[in-house]
Structure 1
Amino acid sequence: MAGLPATEPGSARPVERASGAVLLVGGTGFIGSAVLRQLLGEADAPRTAPQLRVLSRRPPAGRPETAGLRYLAGDLMDRSTLRGSCSGADVLVHTASYVGRDSRKCHDINYAGTQALLEEAQRAGVRRVVYVSTASVYGSGPHRGVREGELGPAPGSAASASRLGAERAVRDARGIVLRPHLVYGAGDRWFVPALARLLRRVPAWPMGVSSAGSLVAVDDLARIVAALVRAPLGPGAEPGEPYHVAHPSPVRMRRLVVLLCGLLGLPQPRTCASPEEHRVLAARGMPELSDHQHALLTQDHWYDSSRIWRRTGVDPGPGFEDRFAQCADWYRRHLADGVGT
């Protein structure tokens, strides 16, 4: 995997790299645990690994710590538990979020909790902040090939609105914001499981719909985060900038439906409903699926992510079908016999 250059452009003077700890917030969650695996797996010797601290509301039972890894208990809803968490850290990686529909929790965790973290980071002299947000801050599409800065945010839920607020706080602090769209892989409890539930309850697909979406495997997202953690701390980067994170090739959702039906042994859905009729059927069969979530599955939502791959020098990887094959067994076990549906 290619990394960022170790010198300033036009200079042979080495650029300083992070020497203090990395604080990973949300390191026991879906994305955070992938980032943790990546950071731990990249070290070819204990001396080359950054000191890692994982802040989580519920650290793992027994706290399976290894050399250079320590778990801290902290709750984004209780700023008193965050005091001192950033001490000695050079880099803060924030992957924690609440994506439910409780607007108070959205505000307290995503927005106020991020502000409290940033205050701790400022007090501790943290030199880089990386925040994993979401392309859902743009709201419902269709969106086709949008570059950063071309589309204004229009969040359609309390979760997305609060994460947009967190983004603004991070950007004001000259941090880096990552906007993946749909993330899949081992540990996914929303995207593919939600689609599986929809296919089981509504075995139809809108006629004439061949929507495309920006997808990224969670391990590829983790490689991007790890590259930013390793990047030089000197000047020259674009602080406060958001980046889309997705594989460069958008995925046709109908293709994902075909693969998922084959994986779960489901019949291929009938294409006998108009988009409007399909939304009505989905509302009846899966009332927990919001209009916005339905749109994400049935309308174009794909974003130009070339800037982040260029900046980090990371290879985007082989693409959706190969990556999905690598995690198919996990999905098969998780979704077997309707578990999680």
Structure 2
Amino acid sequence: MGGSGFVGGAVVGELVGRAVVGGGPAVRVLARRAPLSRGGLVGHVRADLTRPETLRGVLAGVDVVVHAAAYVGRDAARCEAVNHRGTVALLEEVRRAGVGHVVYVSTASVYGPGPHRGVDEEALVPCPVSPASMSRLRAERAVLEAGGTVVRPHLVYGAGDVWFVPALVRLLRGVSVWPAGRVSRSSLIAVGDLARAVAGLACGPSAVDRSVVYHAAHPRPVAADRLLAAVGRHLGVVVPRGVVSAGEHRELVRCAVPELSDHQYALLTVDHWYRSDRLWSRVGEGPGPGFEARFVEAARWYAAHLAGRGAASVGRGAVGGGGPGGAGG
């Protein structure tokens, strides 16, 4: 479910690649709109989480469901309808169809405000602060009660990202300083590496993943100065050269990017990094080369996106990380 979005589309691509080489199942996408054409390798069924009647019968013959659909805006009623009630409706169809396993892509934003430093999946009690994250935590609980698997990325980047890096670029274009002492560290993951991890969970033995939560990130958190330097170097954005107090910086950003919520601002300026050893050990794959190398791979896409459309408006997003990166607001 959600195979036409930022993260969902990458997962579909990864699953198709595995199917082509004979190591993965056939792929069927449930979505309101058809995914990008993949030469007839992907089936499409039109379905809508907010209309449970459209889900009836669509999972016949399905072994595993990857649920990567979400609404991450600020409309609380829509968050509840899509993220929570929609997930419950999907799980009911999973039960009717006898599907063996569900993998749900959620967000580390269910933990709420940081700082969070090097914590594992059992170290924090979720305390979400936005309607999107609250509803996605309720969805998580439903998935876990049904014996499914939950994946929590933080900030997701790469081709197709219209939230995280575009929002950061807009901030940097509007404010030329950075808060003093705020060299925060964040858990990041490239969308392709996240897709590999999700596909690995979907294609592997499901018995070991019953009611399990995984953090999805590269094991090395990325410091803010490294992140800003990469954005400046590859996207031609001026990196902040001066510093101001944290309070003054927040006010400057509030004027330059008024739609950036306090929680979303904190995701860019306060430590939010999580241990992800369990995930990579489980799927038996390496986490990839890390931020600098993966950002270079996506830089051309970002440059074209920013030149053609400007920095995307904050508050939009896709599944995958906590607001920035499109994972939960």
Scaled by the length of structure 2, what TM-score is found?
Answer: 0.91
Alignment equivalent of 1:259, drawn from 217, 222, 230: 230
Q: 1:261 Cα deviation (Å)? A: 1.8
2: CA distance, partners of 1:149 / 1:36: 29
Task: Give the conservation status (yes or no) of the 8 Å contact 1:50–1:68.
Answer: no
- Letter aligned with residue 43 of structure 1: A
Matched, 1:201 2:174: yes
1: CA distance, partners of 2:272 / 2:172: 20
Task: Give the conservation status (yes or no) of the 8 Å contact 1:264–1:336.
Answer: no
Report the equivalent of 1:56. Answer: 31
Task: Give the conservation status (yes or no) of the 8 Å contact 1:178–1:245.
Answer: yes
| 1:39-78 map, 5 Å | 39-45=15-21, 49-60=24-35, 64=37, 66-78=39-51
Q: List alignment gaps of at least 5 residues for structure 2.
A: 313-329
2: CA distance, partners of 1:206 / 1:326: 29
2: CA distance, partners of 1:263 / 1:238: 39
1: CA distance, partners of 2:119 / 2:65: 28
Matched, 1:282 2:253: yes
| 1:238-317 map, 5 Å | 238-317=209-288
Give the 3-state SS of the residue equivalent to 1:89 in structure 2. Answer: coil
Post-superposition Cα deviations, 1:234-283, rounded to whole Å, max 9, x if no partner, equal x4x14111110100000012211121122232222133211111111111
1: CA distance, partners of 2:120 / 2:140: 17
Q: 1:67 Cα deviation (Å)? A: 4.7
**What is the Cα-based RMSD across aligned positions, in Å?**
1.5
2: CA distance, partners of 1:266 / 1:69: 39
Matched, 1:339 2:315: no
Post-superposition Cα deviations, 1:145-183, rounded to whole Å, max 9, x if no partner, equal 011111100101000000000000000001000000000
Q: 1:295 Cα deviation (Å)? A: 0.3
2: CA distance, partners of 1:38 / 1:206: 39
- Letter aligned with residue 53 of structure 1: R
Task: Give the conservation status (yes or no) of the 8 Å contact 1:145–1:303.
Answer: yes
Give the 3-state SS of the residue equivalent to 1:122 in structure 2. Answer: helix
| 1:6-155 map, 5 Å | 25-45=1-21, 49-60=24-35, 64=37, 66-155=39-128
Give the 3-state SS of the residue equivalent to 1:288 in structure 2. Answer: coil
Structure 1's 106 and 309: CA in aligned 2 closer, same or farther, altered over 3 A?
same
1: CA distance, partners of 2:215 / 2:306: 29
- Letter aligned with residue 53 of structure 2: S
Give the 3-state SS of the residue equivalent to 1:27 in structure 2. Answer: coil
Structure 1's 239 and 253: CA in aligned 2 closer, same or farther, altered over 3 A?
same
Alignment equivalent of 1:329, drawn from 286, 295, 300: 300
Q: 1:65 Cα deviation (Å)? A: 5.7
Give the 3-state SS of the residue equivalent to 2:71 in structure 1. Answer: coil
Aligned length, in residue pairs = 312
Q: 1:68 Cα deviation (Å)? A: 4.7
2: CA distance, partners of 1:239 / 1:211: 34
Report the equivalent of 1:190. Answer: 163
- Letter aligned with residue 306 of structure 2: L
Q: 1:64 Cα deviation (Å)? A: 3.1
**Bigger Rg over Cα:** 1
Range moving further from structure 2, 274-283 or 107-116: 274-283
Q: 1:336 Cα deviation (Å)? A: 2.0
Q: List alignment gaps of at least 5 residues for structure 1.
A: 1-24
Alignment equivalent of 2:203, drawn from 230, 233, 243: 230
Q: 1:140 Cα deviation (Å)? A: 1.1
Task: Give the conservation status (yes or no) of the 8 Å contact 1:49–1:68.
Answer: no
- Letter aligned with residue 40 of structure 1: V
Give the 3-state SS of the residue equivalent to 1:167 in structure 2. Answer: helix
2: CA distance, partners of 1:111 / 1:172: 13
Report the equivalent of 2:145. Answer: 172
Scaled by the length of structure 1, what TM-score is found?
Answer: 0.88
- Letter aligned with residue 26 of structure 1: G
- Letter aligned with residue 273 of structure 2: W
| 1:206-221 map, 5 Å | 206-221=179-194
Task: Give the conservation status (yes or no) of the 8 Å contact 2:24–2:203.
Answer: no
Structure 1 consecutive aligned stretches of length 4 or more whose deviation exceeds 6 Å: none
Structure 1's 208 and 49: CA in aligned 2 closer, same or farther, altered over 3 A?
closer
Structure 1's 243 and 49: CA in aligned 2 closer, same or farther, altered over 3 A?
closer
Structure 1's 266 and 116: CA in aligned 2 closer, same or farther, altered over 3 A?
same
Aligned-pair identity in percent equals 55
2: CA distance, partners of 1:238 / 1:222: 17
